[in-house]
Every structure is written in C-alpha cells, then in structure tokens.
Structure 1
Amino acid sequence: MTQSIQQNLNLIEHHLKQYDLWSVQTPSSEQLSSTTPFAYDVMPFEQWLQFIFIPKIQFLIDSEQALPSSMSISPMAEHVWGQQTQLQPLIELLKATDKLFND
C-alpha cells in the first residue's frame, strides 16, 4: 500500500505541475499553521495539496509511521475544480488516493 500511495503522491505533484497549479512561492508560516480543513481560509486547495498534504504524507512514509486509516480529499477537489473538465484526471487521481487510504 505504501508504494501505491508514494506513486500517487508523485502523480499528484506531476498533475499539479502539468496544470500549472504548482506554486513557486511558499505560504507563510501562519498560513501553513491553519487549523481550518484544507486551510481553505488562507490558501487555495492546490497549495494545501502541495505544501501540507504531500509533505505530511511523505514524512509519514519516510519515517515509517502509521498512515491515516481513512481520508476524504476528493470531495474538496470536486467542489473546487468540478467545473474544470481539464482537471478531471487530477480529481480522479485524488479519488483513487482516498480509496487507497480507505481500503
């Protein structure tokens, strides 16, 4: 499972870059410490994926810590990007990622 999750993290990064959603500017420490789900109060969803989700899951994998046993990030992706047909592959990837954590 860890290998599949790692592959999905790499693909999420690839898709964010492909769709020009990858940010070169790191959010402030205040933004990164948001406790609001998906930090939606201080950053766009794609930045949450890039600066919070991917690094956190990567840290857990690298340090061989327990991964979350359930996750539901694709509904937020559908909410934010649902009308952008070009982003459907990314949304589907996030659905697959949710499924990996929830199985």
Structure 2
Amino acid sequence: MKQLHQLADLMLAIEQSMRAADLWHANAPSPAAMASRTPFCADTLDFSEWLQFVFIPRMREIIEHNGELPGASAIAPLAEEALAEQPGKQAVVDRLREFDRAISGTDPA
C-alpha cells in the first residue's frame, strides 16, 4: 500500500515537472497516433506526449485499481536522451528516476 501511495505521488510530481518544463500538451494526439504498436509510440508521438497520454494514465489506472505493477522500469535513461534538448527537463528526468527506483524496490524512502 505504501508503494501505491508513493507511486501516486510520483505521477503527480511527474505531471507537475512536465508542466513546469512546458512539456505538457494542450491537445491529445489522434487515435491513429495512439494506436501505434511501436514501443513508446516512438513512431507517432514525442516522448513527452507518450508520458502524458500513455504512461501517466496507465500508471494511474493501475494504482487506482490496485493492479499489477511492472516488475522493473528504466524510463529515466530514455527520458534523458529523448528530452536532451528540452530546457527544464532535469526535474522530469529526476522524477522518472525516482519512479524507476520505486518500481524496482531500490528507493530509499
């Protein structure tokens, strides 16, 4: 239960850091773009769009329904690369790094 609360807080923190870095999108991608079968929808979405419209909603759904969490996560390194040119990206990467640690059970909190 503690892990679910921590993850819920992290989803909010990721959203807040994306907003602060001006990475939050006003409009949702098209249904066709969301239907991509490529990992992270890399062929149809920017990484920040994937975070906002796929990752965050999916994690919130898992948390709210006490669903099965992923066994591991390594999103932060991808975020560092995908957001390399984005000002203010470090807070987003840091929150995703916290998420990766929390999922893997290596979070010191």
Shift of 1:94: 0.6
Shift of 1:81: 2.1
Between the two proteins, what is the percent identity of the paired residues? Answer: 30
Q: Which amino acid aligns with 1:24?
A: A
Q: Which amino acid aligns with 1:32?
A: M
Q: Partner of 2:77 in structure 1?
A: 75
State how many pairs are aligned: 103
Unaligned runs of 5+ in 1: none
Runs of 4+ in 1 over 6 A off after TM superposition: none
Shift of 1:22: 0.6
Q: Partner of 1:40 in structure 2?
A: 42
Q: Partner of 1:58 in structure 2?
A: 60
TM-score normalised by L of structure 2: 0.87
Question: What is the CA RMSD across the aligned residues, in angstroms?
Answer: 1.3
Q: Partner of 1:93 in structure 2?
A: 95
TM-score normalised by L of structure 1: 0.92
Deviations 1:35-54 (A, max 9, x none): 21111110110000000000
CA distance in 1, matches of 2:64, 2:12: 14
Unaligned runs of 5+ in 2: none
Shift of 1:93: 1.1
Deviations 1:41-69 (A, max 9, x none): 10110000000000001111111111111
